[in-house]
Amino acid sequence: MKNKLYAKPKQLLVISSIVFVLVLAASVVLFVLGFFTELPFIAYISFVLLPLAGAFLLFSILNYAKNDNMLRTLQIENQYQLGIGNYFFNYQMFSERVKKLRRKHDLDKTYVIAFSVYNILSSGTISSYQRRLNGYIASFIGAKVFQTKMVNPNDIAFCFHRNVFIVYSFMDLDKTRELIEILRKAIYEIVKEKELKVFVQPHFGVAEILPTTDIIVGVDNAIFARNVDERNFEELTFYKDDFRVETNKDEIEEIRDALKNNEFVVYYQPKFDVSKKKFVGFEALIRWNSPRYGLLLPGRFIEKAEIGGLIHELDMFVLRQVIKDLENLKARNMNLLPVSVNFSLYEFYSSAFLTELIELIDRSALKPELIEIEITETTTQANTFMATSILNRLRNHGLKILMDDFGSGFSNLLQLNSLPFDAVKIDKCLIDGVASDPKTKEIVKLVIGLCKANQLGIVAEGVDSKEKVDVLTKMGCDVIQGFYYSEPLSLLEALEFLDDNPFTKKGGSKK
Ligand code: C2E
Ligand code: MG
Ligand code: MG
C-alpha cells in the first residue's frame, strides 16, 4: 500500500526527463560528428537512441498522468464517502503530508490516533446514518479541531483509511489524550445535535511514533490497537508489541472450533421468589463441554472469546439454545418460566445485533416476556443517552432488562434511576458479607430501599446459606439465586429439580 501510486511515477518522470535531455544532447553531438567526419554511421546511433528516450519519456508522462488521475479519483471517492468538502485527505496525501511534517519537527516521540465511531469488526455493513455521522466527524476534525488552540493547523495530518479515522499531530502524550477527549465529546455532541438515529461506540487506538518509525507501520499499529480496543470492549487502547504475539491465537481457534463442533452447552440456575415460595425463573449460563478439558466454566473462556471477537457468537448461541429449549417444553405442554440471558451492553451498540435479537424472539413461538436480558453496566456516563434508547426499544418489545452484578466494579447508585432496567441483581461480593458484616448489611439495605423507591425488582445472587436467605428476606429482597437453592444445572437436571426439591413442597425448607 506504500505510495507506489504516487511516488514512483513521479520519480520515473524525473528520470525519463533527465535521460531524454542527455540523449538529446548526445544525439546532437553524434549527428554533428557523423556529418562532418567520414563515419556517418555514428549519426545513425542518434536516430535509434532519440526515439527510445522519447518513448521512455512519453510512457512516464502517461503513467504519471494516469496515476495522478487515480489519486484524484481516490481523493474524490474518499470525500464522497465522507460527504464533505476539501478538508479531508486520502491515505496517499496523508502520508505525503506526514513526511513533510516530520522533516520540520524533531520530537522524540509522537502519537498517531486511529478511531472509529461505531463497532466495525462485528457490524459488517455501514448504515446511511453511520455514513452521515462519519461525514460530520470528518468536517469536525477538518475545521473545528483547529479552533481549539491546542493544535497548530500546520502540525496535523488526518485521513479516513480502512474504515477508521487517522489523526497524526506533533504532540506529547498528555496533549494527545486531551485531543482524544475533545474528539470523544464531539462524537456524542454531533449525534445529539444532528438527531442521528445511530448507536455510537467510539474506539480509540494509539501508537507511538519514534523518529525511526515508518508512518505506515505506526498507522497499522494504531489500527491494530483500535481493533483490540473494540474486541475488549474498551474505549482507549495503546498499542503494545505483545498484541502481535500469537500466544492467544491457538486458544481462540479452539473456541472457534468448539463452536463449530457444538461443544458449548447451556446450564440453568433457578431463581427463588421468597414471598411466593416458588421458583420463578432461571439464569442461562454457558459451559464448554470440552472433550479435552472436561466441563469448563465461563471464567476460563469468556475473556478469550472477547479478545478473539467471538463473544457475539457465544451469546447468540446461548440465546438460540434457550429459545429452542423453551419451545421444546412448550410443545410438550409444560409450564414455562422466564430465562435470563447474559449479554455485554456493548453488543447493543450494533443496531444489526439489536435487530437480530428482536427477530429471533419474534420468529420463535414464545412470548417475549419469557426472555430476559442481563447486562453488566460498565459504560461511561457519555453512553447513557444511547443505552437508554436501546434498552427502551427492548422493553417496548416486551423483554425485561436486568442490571447484573450491581455493587461490583463500575456500578453506581445513580444508575439505579438513570437507566431503564426492570430489576437489579445484587452481586455476590455484596451478598457475601450481608449476614456477617454490619457495614455491608447497611449497604445492601440501602440498595434494596432505592430499588423499591424506583419500582425495580431485586434479585440477590451468589446466596449460599440459610442465614443469608433469612437476612435478605427480612430486608424485603424479592428473588434469590444461589447455591443455597441450587447450582446451575443441565436442562434435564433443572426439570427434575423443579419437580422434586425441598423448597416448594408444603412446609418444605432446607435445614
Ligand atoms: P453472572 O452472570 O453474574 O452469573 C452468576 C455466576 O455466579 C455464575 O457463575 C453462577 O454459577 C455463580 N453463582 C451463582 N450462585 C452462586 C453461589 O451461591 N456461590 C458461588 N460461588 N457462585 C454462584 P458462572 O456460571 O461461572 O458465570 C460467571 C460469569 O460468566 C457470569 O456471571 C457471566 O458474567 C458470565 N457468563 C456466563 N454465561 C454467559 C454467557 O452466555 N454470555 C456472557 N457474555 N457471559 C456469560
Ligand atoms: Mg448474569
Ligand atoms: Mg452477576
Task: Give the β-pairing of 110-116 and 164-169.
Answer: antiparallel
Q: Round the CA-based radius of gyration of the chain to a whole number and report it.
A: 32
What does the alpha-carbon distance between residue 346 and residue 439 come to, in Å, rounded to a whole number?
Answer: 33
At residue 4, the pLDDT reads 35
The Å distance, Cα 402 to ligand 2 centre, comes to 9
Q: Which of 238, 203, 453 is nearest to 346 (CA)?
A: 203
Question: How distant, in Å, are the alpha carbons of 365, 449, 487 from that of 280?
Answer: 20, 22, 16
Q: Which residue minimizes the CA distance to atom 23 of ligand 1?
A: 462
Residue 354 C-alpha cell reads as 439489536
Q: Give 192 Cα–ligand 2 centroid separation in angstroms.
A: 32
Q: Is the CB of 302 under 6 A from ligand 1?
A: yes
Q: How far is Cα 402 from Cα 342, in angstroms, rounded to an integer?
A: 9
Q: Is the CB of 464 under 6 A from ligand 1?
A: yes
Nearest-atom number in ligand 1 for the CA of 405 is 3
The full set of domain ranges for the chain reads 8-81, 91-244, 248-499
Homologous superfamily (CATH) of 91-244 is: Reverse transcriptase/Diguanylate cyclase domain (3.30.70.270)
CB 184 within 8 A of CB 178: no
Residue nearest to atom 22 of ligand 1 (CA): 462
Length of the chain in terms of residues written = 511
**By alpha-carbon position, which residue is closest to atom 21 of ligand 1?**
462
Query: Ligand 1 atom closest to Cα of 483?
Result: 18
How remote is the CA of residue 460 from the centroid of ligand 3, in Å? 9
Q: Which residue has the cell 442461562?
A: 284
- Ligand 1, pocket-test mutation among 317, 342, 484, most atoms within 8 A of CB: 342
CB-ligand 1 contact for 407 (6 Å cutoff) = no
91-244 with 248-499: one CATH topology? no
DSSP notation for 179-197: HHHHHHHHHHHHHHHTT--
Residue 200 grid coordinates: 455510537
Q: How far is the CA of 146 from the centre of ligand 2 (A)?
A: 45
Q: Decide: 298 in ligand 1 pocket, CB within 6 A.
A: yes
Name the residue of 265, 296, 300, 302 to mutate for ligand 1: max ligand atoms within 8 A of Cβ: 302
Q: Answer for the pair 424, 457: CB distance below 8 angstroms, yes or no.
A: yes
Is the separation of the CB atoms in 463 and 431 below 8 Å?
yes
Cα(461) to ligand 3 centroid in Å equals 7
Q: Which ligand is nearest to the CA of 375?
A: 2
pLDDT at 1: 30
Residue 326 CA to residue 486 CA, distance in Å, equals 20
Between the CA of 267 and the centroid of ligand 3 the distance, in Å, is 15
Atom of ligand 1 nearest to the CA of 318: 41
- 350: nearest Cα among 117, 115, 116, 119: 119
How many other β-carbons are positioned within 10 Å of the β-carbon of residue 77?
A: 11
Q: Is the CB of 325 under 6 A from ligand 1?
A: no
Alpha-carbon gap, residue 89 to 79, rounded angstroms: 8
- Write down the pLDDT at residue 473: 97
What is the reported pTM? 0.60
- Whose CA is closest to 167, among 194, 188, 186? 186
394 lines ligand 1 (CB under 6 A): no
Give the span between the Cα atoms of 357 and 352, in whole angstroms.
9
**Residues lower than pLDDT 50 in the chain:** 1-7, 74, 76-77, 80-81, 83-86, 247, 379-382, 507-511
C-alpha cell at 114: 486511529
For ligand 1, is residue 483 a contact (CB within 6 Å)?
yes
Percentage helix, strand, coil, to 5, in the chain?
A: 55, 15, 30
What is the DSSP code string of 10-47? HHHHHHHHHHHHHHHHHHHHHHHHHHHSS-THHHHHHH
pLDDT computed for residue 6 by the predictor: 41
The Cβ-side half-sphere exposure at 333, using a 13 Å CA radius, reads 0
Between CA 177 and CA 168 the distance in angstroms is: 12
Strand bridging mode 203-209 / 479-481: unpaired
Indicate whether residue 318 lines ligand 1 (CB < 6 A): yes
Query: Rounded to whole angstroms, how far apart are CA atoms 157 and 99?
Result: 10
Mean pLDDT computed over every residue of the chain: 83
pLDDT at 186: 87
Say which residues have a Cβ less than 8 Å from residue 234's Cβ, sequence separation at least 6. 203, 228
Joined together, the cell numbers standing for residue 489 give 444445572
Cα dihedral sign for 482, 409, 446, 440? positive
Q: What is the DSSP letter of 143?
A: I
Ligand 1 contacts CB of residue 459 (under 6 A): no
Of 410, 362, 359, give the one whose Cα is nearest residue 387: 410
Architecture label for domain 248-499: Alpha-Beta Barrel (3.20)
User: What is residue 383's predicted lDDT score, i.e. its pLDDT?
Assistant: 55
Collapsing DSSP to helix, strand or coil, 329 comes out as helix
Question: Is the CB of 286 inside a 6 Å radius of any atom of ligand 1?
Answer: yes
Nearest to 168 by CA among 180, 182, 184: 180
Number of the ligand closest to the Cα of 297: 1
